[in-house]
Chains A and B, each alone.
Chain A
Amino acid sequence: MFPKTLSKTVTGVTLGAAMLLPMTQANAAEYQIDSQGQHAFIQFKISHLGYSYVLGTFDDFTGTFSYDPEAPEEASANVKVDVTSLDTAHAERDKHILSDDFLNASEYPTATFESTGFESTGEGEGILKGNLTLHGQTQPITIDVEHIGGGDDPWGGYRQGFEGETTLTLSNYGIDTSKLGPTASTVDMYLVVEGLRQ
Chain B
Amino acid sequence: MWRNTLHGWGIASIVMHWLSALIVVGLFALGWWMTGLGYYDYWYQLAPWWHKSFGMLLLGLTLLRVAWRLSQSTPLAQGARWERRAAHAGHVLLYVLLLTVMVSGYLISTAEGQGISVFGVFEVPALIVGLPHQATLAGDVHWYAAWALIVLAVGHTLAALKHHLLDRRDTLRRMWWPSVSRRQ
Cα(A105)–Cα(B39), bound, Å: 20
B-side contacts of A105, CB under 8 Å: 136
* Interface residue from A84, A87, A92, A181 paired with B108 (Cβ < 8 Å): A92
Residue of B nearest to A180 (CB): B39
Q: With an 8 A cutoff between CB atoms, is A94 at the interface?
A: yes
Question: Within residues 118 to 141 of chain B, which ones have a CB less than 8 A from any CB in chain A?
Answer: 133-136, 139
Q: With an 8 A cutoff between CB atoms, is A89 at the interface?
A: yes
Q: With an 8 A cutoff between CB atoms, is A90 at the interface?
A: yes
Contact A92 B109 (CB under 8 A): yes
Instruction: Give the number of A-B contacts (CB < 8 Å).
Output: 36
For this complex, into which size category does the number of interface residues on chain B fall?
10 to 19
Question: Within residues 64 to 109 of chain B, which ones have a CB less than 8 A from any CB in chain A?
Answer: 108-109
Q: With an 8 A cutoff between CB atoms, is A95 at the interface?
A: yes
Known contacts: A84-B133, A98-B136. The answer to whether A92 contacts B39 by CB under 8 A is no
Q: With an 8 A cutoff between CB atoms, is A121 at the interface?
A: no
Cα(A42)–Cα(B104), bound, Å: 30
Q: With an 8 A cutoff between CB atoms, is A91 at the interface?
A: yes
Cα(A180)–Cα(B39), bound, Å: 6
Contact A181 B133 (CB under 8 A): no
Residue of A nearest to B38 (CB): A179
Contact B112 A94 (CB under 8 A): yes
* Interface residue from A89, A95, A181 paired with B135 (Cβ < 8 Å): A95
Residue in A90, A180, A181 with the greatest tally of chain B CB atoms within 10 Å: A90
Q: With an 8 A cutoff between CB atoms, is A169 at the interface?
A: no
Question: Within residues 44 to 101 of chain A, which ones have a CB less than 8 A from any CB in chain B?
Answer: 84, 87, 89-92, 94-95, 98-99
B-side contacts of A95, CB under 8 Å: 108, 111, 135-136, 139
Residue of B nearest to A94 (CB): B135
Q: With an 8 A cutoff between CB atoms, is A106 at the interface?
A: yes
Cα(A105)–Cα(B139), bound, Å: 14
B-side contacts of A99, CB under 8 Å: 136
* Interface residue from B38, B40, B134 paired with A91 (Cβ < 8 Å): B134
Contact with B along A141-178 (1 / 0, CB 8 A): 00000000000000000000000000000000000000
What is the interface of chain A, defined by CB distance below 8 A to chain B? 84, 87, 89-92, 94-95, 98-99, 105-106, 179-181
What is the interface of chain B, defined by CB distance below 8 A to chain A? 38-40, 48, 108-112, 114, 133-136, 139
Extra contacts, 8 of them, besides A90-B112, A95-B111, A95-B136 (Cβ < 8 A), are A84-B136, A91-B108, A91-B112, A91-B134, A91-B135, A92-B108, A95-B135, A179-B39
